[in-house]
Amino acid sequence: MKCSQTRAIQTHIITYPYLNFHKTLFGGQLMAWLDETAGISAVRVSRAAIVTASVDHLDFLAPLKASHSACIEAYVSGVGTRSIEIFAKIIGEDLLTGDRYLAGTCFMTFVVPKGASLPEKIEPETKEEHFICQGYEARKQVRQAKRQESLALASNVDLDIPWN
């Protein structure tokens, strides 16, 4: 399957109620839009109900200002036996001048249910897709190590709430 077959694109205008104190897009809102757009890409490759497993890496590179737009473009950058890695980029645009800028990048991982089938590989076509997809195996190894760290952390987290 080609990256382009999994591509999902959403564009939003930055207005109230999505603004923070700085009159820029609230980061949590961007994360919700990323999860939605990336989820569409994951379903396009799996044709199954998916679950967000992790936001592996999210870089906020430039603020998305009031009255600008945020265009989120996501596509599958790698597949495992039950996991799907999605790359997303956030392109901001000053709608009055037409100036565009890279506002952020993100890698997310989704998991499919047991029995769902995924393609053996994803085929990049563009220069960007080749660059992103070639790093999949290294990112997967880092993600698996981080998962083990998270499990170790979770086994040592106290669930008692002191004010009860």
Q: How confident is the model at residue 9 (pLDDT cuts 50, 70, 90)?
A: very high
102: closest CA among 113, 88, 114?
A: 88
Is 161 within the bounds of a domain?
A: no
**Can you read off the two tokens belonging to residue 98?**
């037409």
Confidence bin at 164 (pLDDT 50/70/90): low
Q: Is residue 72 part of a domain?
A: yes
Residue 85 lies in a domain: yes
Q: Alpha-carbon Rg of the chain, whole angstroms?
A: 18
| Residue 162 lies inside a defined structural domain of this protein | no
- 33-92 pLDDT, tens digit each: 999 999 999 999 999 999 999 999 999 999 999 999 999 999 999 999 999 999 999 999
**Domain region containing 55:** 3-154
* CATH assignment of the domain containing 20: 3.10.129.10
How many domains is the chain built from?
A: 1
Instruction: Judge whether 134 lies within some domain.
Output: yes
Domain assignment present for residue 114? The answer is yes
